Structure 1
């Protein structure tokens, strides 16, 4: 499994924080399993480990938001990847009714239109209801390390 993970790590990706609301509370999770699926209609996809709490939350809420992290947001990534950052004040902002990470470089607010169980992950396809982006550069993830565009 480690060798496969290392091979996949050769593909540089952006980092997103996926958020959804469950029982009145916002839950977030760092991921790099995110991609555009269709331009007409606007569809995106996230890949979630079936054993994660987010998996159940998404099945129940049937919606999610994506915050594409900017080059200066490594702390947000680490925090929602399971390494709480003591000096990070987690306050989400509203984006068309969804809660997102402030100062991210792109946002997507979605409604789940289909799910596909594939191995130990589920693919959640989201119809994009609203999106926005800035001119900021994203943070990148490559071979297990955070990188910035030069």
Structure 2
């Protein structure tokens, strides 16, 4: 019997922010790098809170903490790039999540004059369409202006606070 069943269905079971974060971590996601440029300087961060929002018009959503440096930069720039990372790009993900390696420097290419990660599975350039407050984060909705899909590659995945891989096998 679950704790909520024992307490009665009408009484919610309290939980902490950490418990909520751990529970949400059970949802496996891909890994992206959000990038923008201000005054000739490229800014980027790793994220896993990314999704398509609409096919017509083509919209994407990213969730950025209000405390993240990228938060204000996205609003000022009004445009951003999204790079969907591949399994071999683990070092790129680490670099933009605050764990850079001294002997590694990521490389960018450009689409629609927006910096995107070289070799990413998908590269998007988007114009900021809407921004919605969402608790301690902001949901940024981008209108996709251009996309490139250089080729098929195994995605970099994130699950339960660590990187993961797809299992090969027959379905």
TM-score with structure 1 length normalisation? Answer: 0.97
How many angstroms apart in 2 are the aligned matches of 1:84 and 1:148?
A: 22
Q: Who is 2:53 aligned against?
A: 37
Matched, 1:18 2:30: no
- Name whichever of 126-135 and 31-40 sits farther off: 126-135
What is the RMSD computed on CA atoms of the aligned residues?
0.9
Q: Who is 1:103 aligned against?
A: 119
The higher-RCO structure (CA 8 Å, 6+ apart) is: 1
Offset from partner CA, 1:5-60 (integer Å, 9 cap, x none) = 11001000000000000121000000001000000000000000001111100110
Aligned mate of 2:157, from 137, 140, 143: 140
Secondary structure at the aligned position of 1:74 is classed as: helix
**Structure 1 segments (4+ residues) deviating >3 Å:** none
Q: CA deviation at 1:88?
A: 1.2
Secondary structure at the aligned position of 1:72 is classed as: helix
Q: Name whichever structure is richer in strand by fraction.
A: 1
Secondary structure at the aligned position of 1:73 is classed as: helix
Aligned mate of 2:94, from 67, 71, 78: 78
TM-score with structure 2 length normalisation? Answer: 0.85
- Name whichever of 68-77 and 84-93 sits farther off: 84-93
Offset from partner CA, 1:112-143 (integer Å, 9 cap, x none) = 01000110000110000011222112100011
> Which runs of no fewer than 5 residues in structure 1 stay unpaired?
none
- Give the number of the structure whose alpha-carbon radius of gyration is greater: 2
